[in-house]
Amino acid sequence: MALDKNQIAQRIAQELKHNMYVNLGIGIPTLVANYVPENINIEFQSENGVLGMGPFPYKGQEDPDMINAGKQTITILLGAVLFDSAISFAMIRGRHIQLSVLGAMEVAENGDIADGKIPGKMVKGMGGAMDLVASAENIIVAMMHTNKAGESKLLKKCSLPLTGLSCVKKIVTNLAVLEITSAGFQLIERAPGVSIETIKKATEGKLIITGDIPEMKIN
């Protein structure tokens, strides 16, 4: 069965390491803060000047003055720090962010990412993503494997304007976990109950399959 957005975030949370500094993009990435393992500490950062974000707020508990860079309401943890965007981008450009979790419209088999612009349509734009893809130590993309029309978003080559070149390291979709290699998309895990054939059909770019592919472990 394909994962929902919360399950994608839950799987990405398994990539977190103790005391990491992590930037979360808008959309699915924001949900990762809800699934941090209890035995580790993570410092979540947002480009608008927040360090120490907590879980996504429950409905009715939102503070309209506490938002992330995508204008989504957030919570902050005890000891969190608020500062201006100049300091925030100094953190990013100074390579103090160890992991960035981004959404994407398209990812190419060589690690190119397009996440901010669709010609002729009004979208939120790439925002700080262009700095993150150039500066973060590790980029993981959270996305749906296909668009609403059923067309692959994991491509040989991106068709939309690029945000970053050869920067994505790993992708977690509703169907699979894949790593970017010099040969293409390396299939690492598949969603519970999802067949390799289903993943093949949903992937336009070159898909590398080696040995038995285990199912993701989602609680």
Q: Would you list the domain boundaries of the chain?
A: 5-175
- Using a 10 angstrom Cβ sphere, with 0-12 exposed, 13-18 middle and 19 or more buried, the burial of residue 45 is buried
| Residues recognised as catalytic | 47
Which residues, at least 6 apart from 127, have a Cβ–Cβ distance to it below 8 Å? Answer: 47, 69, 70, 116
DSSP 186-197: EEEEE-TT--HH
CB atoms within 10 A of CB 103: 20
Lowest-pLDDT range, 16-30, 88-102, 123-137, 185-199? 123-137
103 neighbors 115 (Cβ within 8 angstroms): yes
Q: Check whether 52 has a pLDDT greater than 80.
A: yes
pLDDT > 90 fraction of the chain, expressed in percent and rounded? 71
Q: Check whether 128 has a pLDDT greater than 80.
A: no
* Helix extents (H) in 94-154: 129-135
Distance CA 139, CA 10 (A): 16
Total-model pTM: 0.91
Does residue 78 sit in helix, strand or coil?
strand
Report which secondary-structure segment, H or E, holds 202.
Answer: helix 196-202
**Among all chains, which residue has been given the structure tokens 């690492």?**
188
pLDDT, averaged across the chain: 90
8 neighbors 173 (Cβ within 8 angstroms): yes
**What is residue 136's predicted lDDT score, i.e. its pLDDT?**
84
171 vs 57, higher pLDDT: 171
Task: Point out which residues pair with 185 in neighbouring strands.
Answer: 180, 207
**What is residue 19's predicted lDDT score, i.e. its pLDDT?**
94
Question: Domain 5-175 carries which CATH code?
Answer: 3.40.1080.10
Distance CA 29, CA 46 (A): 11
Mean pLDDT of 69-85: 90
Q: Check whether 126 has a pLDDT greater than 70.
A: no
Length of the chain: 219
**What is residue 115's predicted lDDT score, i.e. its pLDDT?**
81
Residues 180-193 pLDDT 10s: 999 999 999 999 99
113 neighbors 139 (Cβ within 8 angstroms): yes
**What is residue 26's predicted lDDT score, i.e. its pLDDT?**
82
197 vs 163, higher pLDDT: 197
Please state whether beta strands 176-181 and 184-190 pair in parallel, antiparallel, or not at all (unpaired).
antiparallel
**What is residue 97's predicted lDDT score, i.e. its pLDDT?**
93
Q: Check whether 5 has a pLDDT greater than 90.
A: yes
